[in-house]
Amino acid sequence: MITLDKVKGVGPKSKMLLGKLGIEDVESLVSHYPFRYEKIVRSDLSKAEELDKVIIDGKVDSAPILIRLKGNLNKMNIRVVTSVGKVVGVSIFNRAFLKNSLTVGTSITVFGKYERSKNIVLASEIRLGLLPKGAKIESVYHGTAGLSSKNVATFINNALMQYGSVITDYIPKEYIEKYDFLNKKTALNIVHNPSTMEKLKKATIRLKYEELFLFMTKINYLKIKNQNIKNGMEKDYKKEELDKLISSLPFELTSDQNKVLEEILEDLKSKKRMNRLLQGDVGSGKTIISILALYANYLSGYQGALMVPTEILANQHMETVSKILKDTDCKIELLVGSLTKKEKDSIHEKLKNHEIDIVIGTHALIQDDVEYDNLGLVITDEQHRFGVMQRTNLKNKGSMPDVLYMSATPIPRTYALTIYGDMDISIIESLPKGRKPITTYLKSNKDTKEIFEMMYKELEEGHQIYVIAPLIEESETLDLTTVNELKDKMEGAFGSKYNIGVVHGKLSGKDKDKIMDQFAKNKIQILISTTVIEVGVDVPNTTMIVIFDANRFGLSTLHQLRGRVGRSNLESKCILISDTDAERLKVMTKTNNGFEISEEDFKLRGHGDLFGTRQSGDMTFKIANVKEDYKILLQAKKDSMKFLESTKEEDIKLRYQIISSIKDA
């Protein structure tokens, strides 16, 4: 692994900023691909209107004149003879440092707005050098505060120049020849600096195949490995005790829940280690299945752990589990980051001595100082919210615990079987009895008065409301409703009678949990939020969710958000507000079935919305797209199986490299 500080130009500050983008070494730097490309074409000034955006190139025809303005501001004027022989003035603000570079005769490219009446380009940027003939394709990268797309491009190109030849190629030689793939260095250079769209396409396919081949090799390896593991824990869970608990529940399990529970209990009894994904739509009753699995594990004499992504969700699960198991001798504890050191130490000691049977918590469960006596079952809720390493750390806390992953993000079965090919898959499709379907309305911004009246009616009945906005702050490029604008609107409409809270991703975890807790206790009646409430909120008194700029969300995300209401037997409503994209959004008004919606979303948007946030999940394909590249994925799956069986020396060496990189191998 080549560290970032070996790359020319990357100092401690740049290294820290690159880290924010998930870039930790040279390999992750060169695979930080452009998220879009811009075609830069020379403008024809003779056809440009007043204040049109233009790009011109040519030679500096006069020495720069620097004018000092108020404060530290300055303006620089030059004259340029363009490539087509037109003389034009160029003015640029606060670029005094360019003065010595802009000598007469220097070739430059200018980006800016054309003041036709004055024959002047008001420049936003001046670059040294002329444009190539035809269009130039420019890569645009995701950056972060203090690190622009250009900075990222510079570091990537420096890394390619220095280390392009030594970056590992994960495609076996046999397949490089079979598919006539470019070598990796060439492909990377083209993707970051494309000269034509044809070359870009060829390079992109090569890198997509490599990414999917690497992924499928790991998945297939884990599948083979799991099939061969026969030293799992055979658990005798005292069926009559479990049946007694099931019959004491205040509701009847659905047929889907019974089927899934039976599959999990079979896993617990067998010698094979459980490695199962439980998929269930929002509100389908996955939680009760997880509690029954943990109880069966407890009846077998083992400890169980349930890991969730947020403290508020951990608290909610703690409350639910304690309530359901109140008449048993099962000892349950909560382990979260906000506990005092003394409280944590006490729980650590109890876990070690098996004075705790079930522990519920956040990533606090996987800290180095947490030891278990005999951990037998690990359950991770909303599994796509945890990285592979986090899930693996918990899995490895016991000698060979059974593992159950749960997700409320429905994935079309065809794709799930490929992508989660190393796991067994259980699905709950039907909803528990008594749940009323959520009524979804599609409105436009001109319906604000009607929407406010609907909201007021819910509040008058003592219910609570979520209001969702897609952005926290103003954006230069997207004219969207922001959280702060919505707060002003809601304060104006309801602030005199009802309390309004705001929660978003930029708040600290502590502040976020505090506001969510106030909302859960009905001290706040309207909660304005970004999608941070998508997972882990269960406030049964909330009967309405209003989503502004709904067109900015994928259908699967909208479905997850909608699932925050309808958590009781109260009538619930979801209002989608959008002035565009009506046809796509209508799907939400026709069905409450998450699998139908995810299938539709998959057709429209690909995998991005289905697998959770790119930062935290393990479905973080950097260049591949499961939907668009499904044929490549299937071929990569087939090739990877053959590769895993290969006895060629070079394949064995490459296989070792790939397998040793699997953190939970």
Mean pLDDT, range 641-650, rounded to an integer: 94
pLDDT at 607: 47
pLDDT in tens, 20-31: 998 999 999 999
pLDDT in tens, 435-449: 778 999 999 999 999
Question: Starting from the edge strand earliest in sequence, which strands make up the sheet with 275-280, in order?
Answer: 332-335, 358-361, 303-307, 375-381, 402-407, 275-280, 424-428
Categorize the per-residue pLDDT at 604 as very low, low, confident or very high, splitting at 50, 70 and 90: low
The Cα 206–Cα 95 span in angstroms is 41
pLDDT in tens, 52-84: 999 999 999 999 999 999 888 999 999 999 999
CATH superfamily of 42-133: Nucleic acid-binding proteins (2.40.50.140)
Q: Is the pLDDT of residue 457 over 90?
A: yes
Q: Are 380 and 394 in contact (CB under 8 A)?
A: yes
pLDDT in tens, 172-216: 999 999 999 999 999 999 999 999 999 999 999 999 999 999 989
Query: Quick one: the chain helix, strand, coil %, rounded to 5?
Result: 40, 20, 40
Mean pLDDT, range 628-633, rounded to an integer: 87
The Cα 313–Cα 539 span in angstroms is 11
Q: Are 127 and 107 in contact (CB under 8 A)?
A: no
pLDDT at 533: 62
pLDDT at 395: 55
More confident residue, 322 or 145: 322
| The domains spanning 239-269+285-407 and 439-591 adopt the same CATH topology | yes
Q: Is the pLDDT of residue 240 over 90?
A: yes
Mean pLDDT, range 522-529, rounded to an integer: 94
Give the rounded percent of residues in the chain with a pLDDT score beyond 90: 59
Report the chain's C-alpha Rg in angstroms.
Answer: 29
DSSP 8-state code for residue 154: H
Integer distance in angstroms from the first to the last C-alpha of the chain?
A: 19
Q: Decide yes or no: CATH 3.40.50.620 for domain 239-269+285-407.
A: no
Categorize the per-residue pLDDT at 123 as very low, low, confident or very high, splitting at 50, 70 and 90: very high
The widest CA-to-CA distance across the chain, in whole angstroms, is 94
More confident residue, 268 or 225: 268
Categorize the per-residue pLDDT at 156 as very low, low, confident or very high, splitting at 50, 70 and 90: very high
The Cα 581–Cα 591 span in angstroms is 17
pLDDT at 605: 57
The Cα 314–Cα 308 span in angstroms is 6
pLDDT at 536: 53
Q: Is the pLDDT of residue 261 over 90?
A: yes
pLDDT at 506: 74
Q: Is the pLDDT of residue 348 over 70?
A: yes
More confident residue, 555 or 59: 59
CATH superfamily of 439-591: P-loop containing nucleotide triphosphate hydrolases (3.40.50.300)
pLDDT at 65: 96
Structural domain boundaries in the chain: 42-133, 239-269+285-407, 439-591
Categorize the per-residue pLDDT at 44 as very low, low, confident or very high, splitting at 50, 70 and 90: very high
pLDDT at 467: 94
Which segment of 53-67, 343-357, 410-424, 557-571 scores lowest on mean pLDDT? 410-424
pLDDT at 266: 93
Place of tokens 């702050």: 473
pLDDT at 188: 97
